[in-house]
């Protein structure tokens, strides 16, 4: 599966709450960030968790978010960030 996004792209995490084993933390759903790097493609953990093979492998990204956008009352410096690994099917172009 070819990667849809590249480093520097603005993306938004889908605001979705499906049941099952998910690796996208709740706190980041619906938030906008920037792709820091493409990490390669990996078997889908949402399938692996239930004994399936997780194929085709999914592109995985590290996405960087501004802490002040993630937490409205964030107490640190304006430049502080949190980087999170997110699979492509959770991302939309911002």
Partner 1 sequence: MHDDHPHPHDHRPDQDGPLSDYQLMEIAVRELLIEKRILTADEVRRAVEAMDARSPALGARVVAHAWVDPAFKARLLANGTAACEELGVAMGGTKLVVVESTPEVHNLIVCTLCSCYPRMLLGLPPDWYKSRAYRARAVREPRAVLREFGTELPERVTVRVHDSTADMRYLVLPPRPAGTEGWSEERLAALVTRDSMVGVSVPRVA
For partner 1, the binding residues (CB under 8 A) are 23-25, 27, 39-40, 42, 45, 60, 62, 67, 71, 74-77, 79-87
Residue 81 CB, shortest distance to partner 1, in Å, is 5
3-class DSSP state of 27 = helix
Q: Are 79 and 15 in contact (CB under 8 A)?
A: no
The residue among 11 and 24 lying less far from partner 1, judged by its C-beta, is 24
In whole angstroms, what is the distance from residue 59 CA to residue 57 CA? 7
**Smallest separation (angstroms) from partner 1 to the CB of 77:** 5
What are residue 62's DSSP bridge partners? 37, 85
**CB 27, min distance to partner 1, A:** 7
Q: Which ranges constitute the DSSP H helices of 4-83?
A: 45-48, 67-70
- Nearer Cβ to partner 1, position 12 or 45? 45
Tally DSSP H helices, then E strands, for the chain: 2, 5
Of 25 and 30, nearer to partner 1 (C-beta) is 25
Our CB check for partner 1 shows the closer of 32 and 39 to be 39
């Amino acid at each position: 599966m070819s990667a849809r996004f590249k480093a520097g792209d603005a993306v938004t995490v889908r605001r979705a709450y499906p049941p099952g084993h998910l690796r996208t933390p709740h706190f980041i759903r619906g938030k906008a960030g920037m792709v820091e790097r493409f990490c390669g493609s990996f078997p889908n953990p949402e399938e692996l968790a239930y004994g399936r093979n997780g194929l085709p492998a999914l592109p995985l990204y590290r996405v960087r978010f501004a802490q002040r956008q993630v937490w409205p009352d964030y107490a640190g410096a304006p430049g502080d960030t949190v980087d999170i690994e997110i699979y492509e099917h959770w991302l939309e172009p911002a």
